[in-house]
């Protein structure tokens, strides 16, 4: 069996490993953990795997595994890569907010909610990145350089705003539901979009000092 991580071949003892799932668990919890890295890409016998395919092959015996290729990265690098993409992603989310509101205005509720799902999925992506900032860049965030950051203020306000939107929906108050989306959520997302580039550059600079 040929196992590589970031194009580097490694030796793996298979004494207690019987299937693919156990192999990946070993690589993540032993090999990558010692490096302080996380798995970002996985291939089995030349086939790129997503989460579902990885689950499908979980019980594949190691005797049928010819090659495993992994790519890994440090959590800090992943967070910075996400922040680098943030402006483009948030631009698309704001477009979906506008589409959502236009559909509601035209009484096209199904299309409106379809767009709102896209918005919430995008916010979930951003929240993962921002929570990564809090976890892996704690020292930089506590240094004081971001005390007046509108980006951070907007990011911290996302969860309460979504709670207000959900409460309005549960109350059947569609007027408040759309008003919060239009006048609070959209402006918050625009602030995050507009401030993400500067935040990324500052955090990247501080992280290499």
pLDDT tens, 26-84? 999 999 999 999 999 999 999 999 999 999 999 999 999 999 999 999 999 999 999 99
Q: What is the CATH number of the domain that holds 13?
A: 3.10.20
Indicate whether 125 and 59 sit together in one domain: no
| Residues 118, 201 share a domain | yes
List pLDDT tens digits, range 88-112.
999 999 999 999 999 999 999 999 9
Same domain? For 10 and 36 the reply is yes
Number of domains in the chain: 2
Q: Indicate if 122 and 180 belong to the same structural domain.
A: yes
Domain boundary among 22, 47, 73: 73
What distance in Å separates the CA atoms of residue 73 and residue 57, rounded to the nearest whole number?
23
- pLDDT tier at 208 (50, 70, 90 boundaries)? low
Together in a domain, 87 and 69: no
Q: Which domain holds residue 42?
A: 2-73
Helix 109-136 vs helix 75-105: angle between axes, to the nearest 10 degrees?
160
61, 117: one domain: no
CATH assignment at residue 131: 1.20.120
Percent of the chain exceeding pLDDT 90 equals: 91
My answer on whether 203 and 128 are in the same domain is yes
């Amino acid at each position: 069996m040929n196992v590589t991580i970031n194009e580097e071949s490694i030796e793996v003892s298979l004494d207690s490993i019987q299937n693919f799932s156990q192999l990946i668990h070993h690589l993540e919890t032993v090999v990558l953990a010692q490096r302080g890295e996380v798995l970002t890409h996985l291939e089995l016998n030349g086939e790129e795997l997503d989460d579902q395919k990885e689950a499908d092959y979980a019980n594949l015996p190691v005797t049928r595994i010819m090659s495993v290729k992994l790519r890994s990265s440090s959590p800090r690098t992943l967070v910075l890569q996400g922040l680098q993409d943030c402006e483009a992603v948030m631009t698309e989310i704001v477009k979906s907010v506008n589409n959502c509101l236009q559909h509601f205005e035209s009484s096209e509720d199904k299309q409106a909610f379809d767009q709102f799902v896209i918005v919430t999925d995008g916010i979930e992506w951003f929240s993962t990145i921002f929570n990564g900032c809090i976890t892996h860049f704690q020292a930089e965030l506590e240094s004081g350089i971001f005390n007046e950051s509108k980006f951070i203020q907007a990011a911290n306000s996302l969860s309460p705003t979504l709670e207000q939107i959900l409460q309005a929906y549960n109350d059947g108050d569609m007027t408040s539901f759309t008003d919060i989306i239009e006048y609070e959520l959209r402006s918050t997302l625009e602030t995050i979009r507009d401030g993400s580039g500067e935040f990324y550059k500052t955090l990247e600079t501080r992280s290499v000092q």
